[in-house]
Structure 1
Amino acid sequence: MQPVMNHGGQRRVYIRQPRRDPAPSRWAYRMQRLWLTPLFRLLFRVGLPVLVLGGVTAIYVANDARRAGLVQGYVDLREKFQNRPEFMVGLVSVEGASTELAEAIRARAGLKLPASSFDLDLDAARARIEDLDAVAKAELRVRSGGVLQVLITERMPVMVWRTDDRIEMLDETGHRVASLGARADRADLPLIAGAGADKAAGEALEIFAAAQPVLPRVRGLVRIGDRRWDVVLDRNQKIMLPEHNAVAALERLIALDRAEDLLARDVLTVDLRNEERPVLRLAPNAMNERRKAQGIDTSGSEL
């Protein structure tokens, strides 16, 4: 209340002022409630600045000249960074391969050096290197000093495959390793022959392992009809193996040979294709001697 003096100065009259309502207005209340919402605070503190920044950026890049300038600046900056000396590759180091294969790998990689490590397509280069028959696996790494290191797992030849028109070296899976000019170039490797022999290289290795007791006499294996093997020995002897369980059949024959010295006799062919009925084909002289022992006249027989 405020006092009011009359003209005589004797009476005071107080006028009561209306009190201010402390409650917020409806809009203030709503804004306070919104501000207490976490999503609203996030949109206000993050979304609004991002929206403003995006709008300013959109207006700036709407001009073609400014947009082209930004792109060119980015490209120049990226090229300047990628072409720094510490990122340049100038040498290729091939490890795990012979000298001849290393040169073939460098040529097959198809890399134009020096080049930035960012510009090298290592996956494509690795694929081209692994296309070489002599390469089983390749790993490419960029090392310090600008060196591209190529780690090679080389295919190891374990046998020679002779076909009608060529001689190839194969690894244990039957994959081609390299060509040979003559069989004598790798006389230390066992020989297989015939169409489809490379596809059965694993079985051929098992047969060679089973034939270890007579291996010095084994001249090679011949694939017959892409189904089974013939073991060719010296003295023109041949062992005809069955289509299935060939290793077991050969092991039984070798056991018999140890007991009876079968392969040392005048036997031309041992036919094991029928497991229940193996067949021996004797040499002509041995057949005549057998007939004489049975009292059969062989004077008119053909040799």
Structure 2
Amino acid sequence: MQPMTATRPAPAAAKRDPAPSRVAYKAHRLWLTPLFRQLMRVGVPVFLLTMAVGWYFSNPTNRFAIMEKVQEVRRSVEERPEFMVKLMAVEGASPVVSDAIRQMIPVDFPVSSFDLDLDAMQAEVAELDVIERVDLRIRPGGVLEVAVTERTPVVLWRAATGLEMLDATGHRVASISARNGRADLPLLAGSGAQDDVPEALALLAAAGPLARDIRGLVRMGERRWDIVLDGEQRIQLPEQNPVQALEQVIALDQAQDLLARNLTFIDMRNPARPTLRMAAPAVEELRRIKGLELGGPAQ
């Protein structure tokens, strides 16, 4: 009989540790970060989409096909009837100016409003001297409206290049070939006259009863004015306060009939000491009279 041997009980299986591993713990903590979750949910898909679009557009054939499709859709929208301009209307312009504007804007109608550069067209029309203001807009019904305000000529200026019509600010309006083309406008002459049109207009307004006898105003030395009257008489005005000096001449004329005398110049350059210059026949007559006075009566 064999001896009995004692048997050891089998060791119990080791219990599983419920704590997560270090890697799982860090991954879980990272997922709980809001920035990381947004990056995984939004950033990664956007990145993949961008890569896919970039790869697609890297092919020239694909780019050309997309651009053609975009242009086709764009033209189909731009050429819809509600966006088409069928004619042009010029408002507020004289026939000559209207024709000039139409020649400056050679648009072939009908045309899409998207093809019209209104700012460039407005700047081009505004370069005309006769135009004071211009506005371009597209009216309902497909009408390109050009609203024009023309400059009003108030004086003629005899420049070195010919006769120029000027507005109240001295801005050039247009040229004319002869004085009788606008005989209703007063005449200015002399270098720099165009720069002092407001002062010239003030003198003409103050001329009163002399206005119908005025042939023109001459700018002297770009500093002052001479008023030329019928009969070659001149009123020489000072550089400062010329209107007051002219009013003084008018007062002397009304009191003593000054301009009816045989005078050539009325010098008011020093208003405190007006100087008169007589015509040559008057001077000779004065000398003759003085000679008779000195010689006494003939025996």
Fold in common (TM above 0.5): yes
User: Greater shift after overlay, 215-224 or 284-293?
Assistant: 284-293
Cα pair distance change 1:29/1:197, threshold 3 Å:
same
Which residue in the other structure is 2:48 paired with?
Answer: 52
User: How far apart are the structure 1 equivalents of 2:65 and 2:128?
Assistant: 46
Matched, 1:120 2:116: yes
Counterpart of 2:140 in structure 1 is 144
Q: What SS does the aligned partner of 1:188 have?
A: coil
Matches within 5 A, 1:66-105: 66-105=62-101
Q: 2:79, 2:112 within 8 Å by CA — same for their partners in 1?
A: yes
Question: Please, what TM-score do these two structures have when normalized by structure 2?
Answer: 0.82
Question: Which residue does the alignment assign to 2:59?
Answer: 63
Q: Report deviation, 1:57.
A: 0.6
Alpha-carbon distance between aligned partners in 2 of 1:42 and 1:270, rounded to the nearest angstrom: 95
> Which residue number corresponds to residue 30 of structure 1?
30
Q: CA deviation at 1:291?
A: 4.7
2:185 matched residue in structure 1? 189
2:106 paired residue number: 110
Q: Does 2:250 align with 1:254?
A: yes
1: CA distance, partners of 2:61 / 2:264: 92
Cα offset, 1:76, TM superposition: 1.8
Distance 1:58 1:286 in 2: 101
Identify the residue that residue 291 of structure 2 maps to in structure 1. Answer: 296
Instruction: Report the CA distance between 1:199 and its aligned residue.
Output: 2.3
Cα 1:19–1:165, aligned 2, differ >3 Å: closer, same or farther? closer
Conserved 8 A contact 1:217-1:233: yes
Partner of 1:7: none
Matched, 1:278 2:274: yes
8 Å CA contact 2:130–2:151 kept in 1: the answer is yes
For residues 53 and 156 of structure 1, the distance between their equivalents in structure 2, rounded to whole angstroms, comes to 65
Residues 76-128 of structure 1: per-residue CA shift (max 9 Å, x gap): 22122212222121211011111221111111123333221111121221122
Partner of 1:238: 234
After superposition, the CA RMSD in angstroms is 2.9
Q: Which residue of 1 aligns with 2:7?
A: none
- 1:170-209 correspondence to structure 2 within 5 Å: 170-209=166-205
Question: What's the offset of the Cα at 1:75?
Answer: 1.6
Secondary structure of the residue aligned to 2:114 is: coil
Residues 199 and 136 from structure 1, CA distance in 2 versus in 1: closer, same or farther, beyond 3 angstroms? Answer: same
Q: Measure the CA separation in 2 of the matches of 1:282 and 1:252.
A: 19
Q: Distance in 2 between matches of 1:175 and 1:298?
A: 58
Cα distance in 2 for partners of 1:44, 1:252 equals 95
Letter of the 1:92 partner, please give it: M
- Give, in whole Å, the separation in 2 of the partners of 1:18 and 1:164: 113
The answer to whether the 8 A contact 2:31-2:37 is kept is no
Equivalent residue of 2:240, what SS?
coil
Partner AA of 1:185 in structure 2 = G
Match of 1:268 in 2: 264
Distance 1:287 1:262 in 2: 16
User: Contact conserved, 1:109 with 1:126, CA < 8 A, in 2?
Assistant: no
**Is the contact made by 1:110 and 1:125 (CA closer than 8 Å) also made in structure 2?**
no
What is the Cα deviation at residue 278 of structure 1? 2.6
Q: Deviations over 1:52-91 (max 9, x none)?
A: 2211111111111111111111122212221222212121
State the AA in 2 paired with 1:91.
Answer: L
Q: Which moved more, 1:223-232 or 1:125-134?
A: 223-232
CA distance in structure 1 between the partners assigned to 2:185 and 2:138 by the alignment: 38
Q: For the structure 1 residues 247 and 51, does the alpha-carbon distance in structure 2 shift closer, same or farther, using more than 3 Å as the test? A: farther
Could you tell me whether the CA contact under 8 Å between 2:125 and 2:134 is conserved in 1?
Answer: yes
Query: After the TM superposition, which of the residue ranges 18-27 and 136-145 deviates more from structure 2?
Result: 18-27
Q: Can you give the 5+ residue segments of structure 1 that lack an aligned partner in the other structure?
A: 1-14
Residue 227 of structure 1 pairs with residue 192 of structure 2? no
The one-letter amino acid paired with 2:168 is: E
SS of residue paired to 1:226: coil
